[in-house]
Amino acid sequence: MAKIISGKDVAEKILTTNIKPKVDDLKLKGVIPTLVVILVGDVQASASYVRQKEKFAAKAGIKSEVRKFSETVPEQEVLDEIIKINKDSDLHGIIVQLPLPDHISVTKILNSIDPSKDVDGFTPTNVGKLFLGEETLVSCTPKGIMLLLESVNTDLKGKNVTVIGRSNIVGKPVSILCQQKHATVTMCHSRTKDLTAKLSDADVIIVAVGVPKFIHGDQIPMGSIVIDVGIHNVDGKLCGDVDFESAQNKVSAITPVPGGVGPMTVCALIENTVIAAERLSNKN
Catalytic site residue from 53, 159, 172, 250: 53
Report helix, strand or coil for 257: coil
Alpha-carbon distance of 189 to 87, in angstroms, equals 40
Angle at 259 between CA 256 and CA 265, to 5 degrees: 115
CA 69-74-75 angle, to 5 degrees, is 95
**Is 231 within 8 Å of 262 (Cβ atoms)?**
yes
The residue annotated as part of the active site, out of 22, 117, 120, 250, is: 120
Question: Residue 235 catalytic?
Answer: no
Q: Which of 42, 52, 45, 38 is nearest to 80 (CA)?
A: 38
Other Cβ atoms closer than 10 A to 192 = 17
Structural contact between residues 176 and 130, judged by C-beta atoms closer than 8 angstroms: yes
Reply yes or no on whether 53 is catalytic.
Answer: yes
Give the active site residue among 22, 97, 118, 172.
Answer: 97
Q: What three-state secondary structure class fits 96?
A: strand
Using CB atoms within 10 Å of the CB of residue 255, give its burial: 0 to 12 exposed, 13 to 18 middle, 19+ buried. buried
Is 120 a known active-site residue? yes
**β-sheet bridge partners, residue 232:** 239
Between CA 217 and CA 260 the distance in angstroms is: 18
Quote the DSSP letter at residue 157.
T
CB 92 within 8 A of CB 277: yes
Contact 2, 248 (CB under 8 A): yes
Annotated active-site positions, please?
53, 97, 120
